[in-house]
Amino acid sequence: MNQIPNRPLFTQLIRDTSSFRPPPGSTYIYGRFEERTSLVETWSTQASGVRFIELEELATPIVRPVTGGYPEFSLRQQTKVEGFLKSIGTVDLYLDITGLSFHVWAPLIKVAVNLSFNLKVVYIEPADYSYSLNPMRGEIFDLSERTLGIAPVPLFASLSDPEDQTVCFIPLLGFEGARLAYMIEQVDPPGSKIIPIIGVPGFRVEYPFNTYHGNEPALSNTRAWQKVRFATANCPFSAFYALTDVIETYESAYIKVAPIGTRPHALGALLKCLASHRPIEIVYDHPKRHRSSSSGSMNCLVYHVADFLNSNPMR
C-alpha cells in the first residue's frame, strides 16, 4: 500500500464562497440547476477578463451553450466536443460540475484532459438536502424523481464482460438505496466482490450514518457491508486512492464502478478510469434530479485536476 506522503491532494478549499474569482484569461463553464449554482451569477459580475459559458441540457445527449454564440452539440461525438473546447480560445479551463449532469461533465472532462487543458473542476457543497415527505425504506432524502436506467455515459464505452474474469463491482454510495439495489440487480456481481465506498468524513457529521441507513437493505442482503471502504466525501482524490487500493487487491477481476454518491466521488471515479492502465467500466443509471433536492451552499472546492494527473505517480 502506498504511504500517505505519496498520495498528494490538489484541492483548494474556499469557505467564503463570495470571495472566489476565476483568474483573468480563463474560461468558466457551468450549468444552472439548484439554488447553490446561483453563486456563479455573482462571480461573473465581479470577475475581470473571464469568459463564462452556461450550458443548457437539451434532449440527451445534446447541450446548448447559452452564452458566447456557440452552436449546440452532441456529447456522443468526440469531434464536436473537441471543437467546442478548442473554440473557447483559452488554456485555463474551469468546469463547474455543481449544476451539470454527470453525463454532461464526464465527456467534457475526458476531452479537456486529452487536449491538455489546464483543467480545474469546481464544486459547491450544499448546506442541506431536502428530506423525503413520504420516506420508504432506503429513502431519506428527496433527491431524484426517477432514473432513466443503465446506459453508457457519452464517450465512455460499455464493455462486454470477459468470459474468463469475475466482475468486481465498486459502488461509490450516496443516500439512495434504491439505486444501489437496482445496480446490483442489473450488474449481478458475486456478493463477495461488491466493494462499496462511503464518504467518511461526510459533508456533515451525520451523513455517513445516513448513507448506511439508506443503503442498508442492499448492503445486508449481499453482506457487502463487511467490505466497505472509506474516502472523504468532498475529495475526488481520496476516492481515486480508495479505488486504486480496491483495484490492486482484485488484480484478476474485471472492474465496474458505479458513481452513485457525491459528485466529488464521481469525479474521482472518472479520473481513475482515465488514468488507469486497466479497463474500468463506468456503470451509471442516469437519475433525473429534483431541482429542489438541496438548499443553500457551504464551501466552494476547486480541484486542480490537470496538476493531479500530471503529478500523480499511480498511473
In tens, the pLDDT along 182-239 reads: 999 999 998 889 999 999 998 889 989 989 999 999 999 999 999 999 999 999 999 9
Place of cell 448506511: 212
Cβ atoms of 21 and 302 closer than 8 Å:
no
Is 164 a residue whose pLDDT tops 80? Answer: no
Instruction: Please state which of the ranges 126-135, 172-181, 242-251, 297-306 shows the lowest mean pLDDT.
Output: 126-135
What residue ranges define each of the domains in the chain, with the CATH number in brackets? Answer: 4-128+296-308 (3.40.50), 131-289 (3.40.50)
Average pLDDT over residues 60-80: 94
What percent of the chain stands above pLDDT 70?
Answer: 88
Q: Rounded CA gap, 169 and 126, in Å? A: 28
Return the C-alpha cell found at 92: 485555463
Average pLDDT over residues 72-98: 96
Report pLDDT for 288: 79
Helix (H) or strand (E) holding 78: helix 78-87
Picking from 273, 284, 266, the residue whose alpha carbon sits closest to that of residue 244 is 273
**DSSP-derived pairing of the beta strands 128-129 and 118-124:** unpaired
Average pLDDT over residues 37-53: 90
Average pLDDT over residues 16-36: 91
* H helices, E strands: number in the chain: 9, 17
- Mean of all residue pLDDT scores within the chain: 88
Split at pLDDT 50, 70, 90, the class of 4 is very low
22 vs 3, which has greater pLDDT?
Answer: 22
Instruction: Please state which of the ranges 8-17, 129-138, 212-221 shows the lowest mean pLDDT.
Output: 129-138
Report pLDDT for 293: 64
DSSP summary character for residue 22: P
Q: Is 50 helix (H, G, I), strand (E, B) or coil?
A: coil
Cβ atoms of 144 and 287 closer than 8 Å:
yes
